[in-house]
Amino acid sequence: MGIFVCFGVSSEALPLESVIPKKDLPKEWTLIHGPQTYNKKTLFEHINGQAELFFKYGFQKSVFAIYQSKESRENQIELDIYDMGNVVQAFGIFSRFRNEDRPGGFGLDSYLDDHSALFYKGRYFVLLYAVESNPDLLRQFSKLVSLRISDPSTPPREISYFPKDGLKPGSIQYFPEGLLGHQFLKRGFQGTYVEKVEDKNKAKTEGKEFHLFIAIFKDSQEAVSALKVYKNDLSKKGKVLSGGFIQFGTAGLRGEDPYQGKVIVLQKGFYLLGAVGFEKEEEAENGLAEFVKNVK
Amino acid sequence: MGRRKFIKTISSTLLGIAAPNILKVRPSLGKSEKTPNLEYRTLGKTGLKVTTVSMGVMNCSDPAVLLRAFDLGINFYDTADCYMRGHNEEMVGKAFEGKREKVFIQTKVHVHDEKKMRASVERSLRRLRTDYIDVLVWHGHSSPKEVSDPNLFEFMSKMKKEGKARFTGFSAHRNMASLLSEAAKSNFHDVALVSYNFTHSKDLKEAVALAAKSGIGIVAMKTQAGGYKKQRMGGLSPHQAALKYVLMDENVSCAVPGVTTIEQIEECAAAMGTSVSKGNLDELKQYQSFLRGRICTMCGGCIGECPYGVSRSDLLRVVMYHDGYENDSLVRELSQTITRQDIQRCSECPSCSVVCRRGLDMKAQIQRVQEFIVRSSPARRTGTLAGGESIAQG
């Protein structure tokens, strides 16, 4: 079940060149370069060492094109479309590239600023870069590309498990390995939360950031084993603290990590769910309780 | 061969590379060691004393890994302006705020017009939360012409003069031998970041030596080249062995293995300060043979040789993921991209004409790929996971 849930059903790959818009382009724009395709062997030639990061996220192949304004040769837009194999990995690489929550209204989720647009849809991650500032044009191009991607995949379901209260918009990320920098946690999602602080006038302001995470394993046995390894690691390098988990109704671990701060970890099915780096126990526990409840 | 049997003197060479005098006595390479015996080398004419095992930050997902590396004593960190659209530099800047003078940071800039390059450097400085970059390198030079371009040199000179960069250089993923040879002819570059590991040619070793002799500090990346796991070769961890191989070339100042976890940086750091005995040298030689017989290095030498157009590198990567990484999910993912037709063509072909320059037994490897694919994913046989013309439905 774990594998099926987390990697999703791999949709059929489209011929990537066909996704590159060639006709019905925004007025006064024309395709001047490409489509140029890259595979695992040649991606380095296009994006240098960053190719390694794409490989970790399951890169299959990509296509690149350049559009030019008929009015000014300098005014160009570069388009990269990456086939990442499945929707989880496409979301993952998207989540590592977006800066903050500035949705553009295309794809399954997107980011748009003055010079760049990025989004993911199905197994594809799309990146557009404009030499001259023009978010409206970037949006137009993005929508054109998005329409040409027929992949019906929905966003990874784990994203919906994260509690909304306190979640920094656009902060959920997927890591294909080394979640929280730990080998034993393997892959999973992480979201950033902001603790609420009351000032002198009892007005609520934003305080310290902490993370909720969900690590994904093959089965519940593997999740239990990872929890043991985590406990062992904390007992060697940090602290294991006592504390019940009755309210969660599941096995868990409480402690202090030398680099992450306070930690609570719980096991549910083939997942480990946790909170790290918080100051207010109650807030972290409440968030975690909802997180656990949301996991189907 | 146990790691505790290491002795302090080495008197021979490993695979044609002279062992450096920096190797010291150390009883263990185990990653449980919390404080590695730090080794330092001088980064060419920069004079910077860098830890031989340094860190490539690009794939790192969590600042905890950087902080662990810092606590271990590692002092040289390689990032780039473009990695994750600047997030990687931001992570480095945040992690080392307040520790800036204790670390050396190397980042990169792409060739553009001066206005853009200047803006890129300014952005890097902001993200890194610093007012100087220790080593600023051109990202991904590929031709000797770029290496000796006086206009590019002029920009780097300005960056130095303005105090934005202390030292400058270039990085390269291909044509490295010719680029290093070209760089050695001029005084343009202080540092070269090059892909260097046990799979590379004698030409590259010679070019590294030439460049180092001219004063260029050599930083080695991609040092692991798909190293195999510990269980496969007795005492020495393959990752450590691959690192040792690179560091035994005294022309290399430091290696920047790309790590993603605390466990990996601990393992890499533990390779510092180790001595190797004659026995361990033999073990390393065996390790190299072991890898050479198993890894498709994607050298491209066999491209176009199969009359049926089968892409061997994709097939052989399945073997590497299965045997080397022991990562079933990677096997499964890659298997989904391999067509039934390719596998059938290979397994039924009576006379494979593809010859591997590195001595891989192609026929045997392809048979293994077929076994893995059938074994690795029962769901595929029922057609529930894969699509298109993959083996599941083909």
Q: Which of A46, A98, A184, A259 to mutate to test the interface with B (most CBs of B within 10 A)?
A: A259
B64/A259 Cβ within 8 A: yes
- Does B324 or A33 have the greater pLDDT score? A33
Q: What is the dihedral of CA B273, B277, B279, B284, to 10 degrees?
A: 40
Query: Distance of CA B280 to CAs A123, B33, B274, Å?
Result: 46, 20, 11
Q: Yes or no: say if B295 and B319 are a contact pair by the CB < 8 Å rule.
A: no
Instruction: Give the SS3 label for residue A266.
Output: strand
Give the model's pLDDT for residue B8. Answer: 26
Instruction: Give the SS3 label for residue B305.
Output: coil
Give the model's pLDDT for residue B388. Answer: 30
Average pLDDT of the residues of chain B: 76
Question: Which tokens sit at B259?
Answer: 């790590």
Q: Determine the residue of chain B that is closest to A43 in CA distance.
A: B173
Chain B CB contacts of A11 under 8 Å are 387
Confidence tier at A254 by pLDDT (50, 70, 90):
very high
Residues forming beta bridges with residue B195, ordered by sequence position: B221
A177/B260 Cβ within 8 A: yes
Give the model's pLDDT for residue A125. Answer: 97
d(CA A190, CA B318): 30
A41/B68 Cβ within 8 A: no
- Please state the rounded mean pLDDT for residues A216-244: 91
B313/A116 Cβ within 8 A: no
Q: Yes or no: say if B351 and B393 are a contact pair by the CB < 8 Å rule.
A: no
Q: What is the dihedral of CA B381, A88, A180, A163, to 10 degrees?
A: -120
Residues of chain B with pLDDT > 90, as a percent, come to: 38
Per the listing, tokens 């890994």 go with B65
First to last CA, chain A: 12
Q: Residues 6 or more apart from A81 whose CB is under 8 A from it?
A: A16, A19, A20, A62, A63, A64, A124, A125, A126, A127, A145
Q: Yes or no: say if B295 and B226 are a contact pair by the CB < 8 Å rule.
A: yes
- What pLDDT digit, counting tens, does each position of A66-79 carry? 999 988 888 999 99
Q: CA B178: distance to chain centroid?
A: 19
Question: Which tokens sit at B268?
Answer: 């890499």
Q: Does A259 touch chain B (CB under 8 A)?
A: yes
DSSP state of B382: T
Question: Does B32 have pLDDT greater than 80?
Answer: no
In B36-86, where does DSSP find H-type helix? 63-72
Domains and CATH numbers, chain A: 16-148 (3.40.1000), 158-294 (3.40.1000)
Strand segments (E) across A113-238: 116-121, 124-130, 173-175, 187-198, 204-216
Number of neighbouring beta carbons within 10 Å of residue A68: 18
Confidence tier at B292 by pLDDT (50, 70, 90):
low
Backbone angles phi, psi at B143, to 5 degrees: -130, 150
- What pLDDT digit, counting tens, does each position of A6-15 carry? 444 456 677 8
- Please state the rounded mean pLDDT for residues B276-290: 63
d(CA B76, CA B102): 9
d(CA B239, CA B10): 21
d(CA B4, CA B367): 39
- Please state the rounded mean pLDDT for residues A29-53: 87
Instruction: Give the SS3 label for residue A223.
Output: helix
d(CA A92, CA A57): 7
- Does B145 or A196 have the greater pLDDT score? B145
A60/B85 Cβ within 8 A: no
Give the model's pLDDT for residue B301. Answer: 59
Question: Does B165 have pLDDT greater than 90?
Answer: yes
- Please state the rounded mean pLDDT for residues A194-209: 76
Q: Yes or no: say if B366 and B378 are a contact pair by the CB < 8 Å rule.
A: no
Q: What are the DSSP calls for B246-264, one per residue? A: HHTSTT--EE--B--SHHH
Residues forming beta bridges with residue A192, ordered by sequence position: A211
Residues of chain B with pLDDT > 70, as a percent, come to: 63
B386/A48 Cβ within 8 A: no
- Mean pLDDT check: name the lowest of B89-103, B151-165, B186-200, B252-266: B186-200
- What pLDDT digit, counting tens, does each position of A117-143 carry? 999 999 999 999 998 999 999 999 999
Q: Determine the residue of chain B that is closest to A181 in CA distance.
A: B261
Give the model's pLDDT for residue B304. Answer: 65
**Pairing outcome for strands B104-109 and A271-278:** unpaired
Residues of chain A with pLDDT > 70, as a percent, come to: 91
- Please state the rounded mean pLDDT for residues B272-280: 68
Give the model's pLDDT for residue B283. Answer: 63
Q: Supply the pTM of this predicted model.
A: 0.76
Question: Does B384 have pLDDT greater than 60?
Answer: no
Give the model's pLDDT for residue B381. Answer: 38
Q: Which of A39, A40, A48 to mutate to test the interface with B (most CBs of B within 10 A)?
A: A48
Q: Which of residues 166-185 of A touch B (CB under 8 A)?
A: 175, 177-184
Out of A41, A52, A181, whose CB is closest to B258? Answer: A52
Give the model's pLDDT for residue A76. Answer: 93
Question: Does A109 have pLDDT greater than 50?
Answer: yes
Residues of chain A with pLDDT > 90, as a percent, come to: 66
- Does B365 or B249 have the greater pLDDT score? B249
Per the listing, tokens 């006086």 go with B150
Give the model's pLDDT for residue B379. Answer: 46
Chain A CB contacts of B60 under 8 Å are 178, 181
Out of B58, B262, B329, whose CB is closest to A49? Answer: B58
Q: Determine the residue of chain A that is closest to B387 in CA distance.
A: A12
- What pLDDT digit, counting tens, does each position of B228-249 carry? 444 444 456 767 777 888 898 9
Give the model's pLDDT for residue A249. Answer: 66
Out of A48, A56, A179, whose CB is closest to B173? Answer: A48
Question: Does B341 have pLDDT greater than 70?
Answer: no
H/E stretch holding A166:
none
Give the model's pLDDT for residue B30. Answer: 34
Number of neighbouring beta carbons within 10 Å of residue A139: 17
B388/A12 Cβ within 8 A: yes
Instruction: Give the SS3 label for residue A221.
Output: helix
Question: Kindly report the CA angle at B290 between B285 and B295, in degrees rounded to 5?
Answer: 125
Average pLDDT of the residues of chain A: 89
Q: Which of A113, A174, A173, A170 is nearest to A142 (CA)?
A: A113
Q: Determine the residue of chain B that is closest to A1 in CA distance.
A: B379
Query: Which residues on chain B place their C-beta less than 8 Å from a C-beta of chain A?
Result: 58-65, 67-68, 80, 82-87, 139-140, 142, 171, 173-174, 221, 258, 260-264, 298, 300, 313-314, 329, 332-333, 336-337, 379, 384-388
Q: Does A48 touch chain B (CB under 8 A)?
A: yes
Q: How many contacts, defined by CB atoms under 8 Å, are there between A and B? A: 112
Question: Which tokens sit at B360?
Answer: 């891989």
B65/A178 Cβ within 8 A: yes
Q: Determine the residue of chain A that is closest to B63 in CA distance.
A: A181
Chain A CB contacts of B63 under 8 Å are 181, 259
Q: Determine the residue of chain B that is closest to A9 in CA distance.
A: B385
- Does B104 or A102 have the greater pLDDT score? B104
Question: Does B328 have pLDDT greater than 90?
Answer: no
- Please state the rounded mean pLDDT for residues A41-55: 84
Distance from CA of B259 to the nearest CA of A (A): 9
